[in-house]
Amino acid sequence: MTTRTFSTHDELENSLIVHFRPVPAAADLIRRTLDGLRDDFRPERFAERVQVEATERGISMLSPDGQARPPASQASKRLAAKAREELFEYLEGRRSFFSVPVDFSGMPAFQRKVLERTYRIPFGETRSYARIAQEIGNPRAVRAVGTALGRNPIPIIVPCHRVLRSDGGLGGYGLGLPMKTRLLGLERSTPVLEGCATTGIVCRVGCPDAMRMREDSRVVFASVDDARSVGYRPCKVCRPSDATLS
């Protein structure tokens, strides 16, 4: 072991300051490493293993654990592949809506009513179980609404994660409460609308036209009215409107 000597008090003091100086980069690396150990969720892995089933009308099943029946046609095969692609973009925070249609036709009448109403809850917003029950005309059926949502065969695309208890609690979720928390957090941090400064067009995040925008041309908007107020016009491809976003 080598012993270092110091000729002056100032030299010793400066050496100690350098030695004990905080290292933010290293601390940040440790924090990120610990976060990674606590949370190993990877959107690409989830999207790859998820099973998607579709009819020619739309998506009929999405499950990370179940088995999907073989597609009945090329149209249903394309829909399933498109749903998986959009799911990955959504989980990456690059999409605020799903363009693939949903097929509710094989569901029991009550569940279909619940899920059709849930399907219309806007991205980034939430509703209570009680409110869903009221909106389908069965205000006393709060528990039945929860059961119907718990058996949702098309989670995420039919966003039952946006339904909470009246007191703000999470309630239940078929994919687990950690996943419900993740999805709600994702939607709080993902913008709904973005405009292109060069074309003057506003799109929903995830629109093919929006994905072609240059990064330095992107402008985030809270509503279509806000975009219109500064001269932007709605995209004719994804057709954003305040009616569908509220």
Residue 16 has pLDDT above 90, yes or no: no
Residue 154 placed within a domain: yes
The number of folded domains in the chain is 3
**CATH code assigned at 126:** 1.10.10.10
> Which are the catalytic amino acids?
160
Report whether pLDDT(25) > 70. Answer: no
245 in any annotated domain = no
In a domain, 21, yes or no: no
In a domain, 155, yes or no: yes
78 within a domain of the structure (yes/no)? yes
Could you tell me if residue 19 is inside a domain?
no
Same domain, 143 and 214: no
pLDDT tens track for 104-113: 999 999 999 9
Tell me the mean pLDDT in the region 93-101.
95
Its domain, for residue 131, covers 109-189
Instruction: Indicate the SS3 state at residue 24.
Output: helix
Asked if residue 47 lies in contact with residue 91, where contact means CB atoms within 8 angstroms, the answer is yes
In a domain, 33, yes or no: no
User: Is 83 in the same domain as 116?
Assistant: no
Q: What is the pTM of this model?
A: 0.79
Instruction: Tell me the DSSP string of 150-178.
Output: HT-SSBTTB-GGGEE-TTS-----TT-HH
Note whether 205 and 225 are same-domain residues: yes
Q: Compute CA 214 distance to the chain's CA centroid, rounded to the nearest angstrom.
A: 22
Please report, rounded to a whole number, the percentage of residues in the chain having pLDDT higher than 70: 82
Token couple for 49: 């293993």
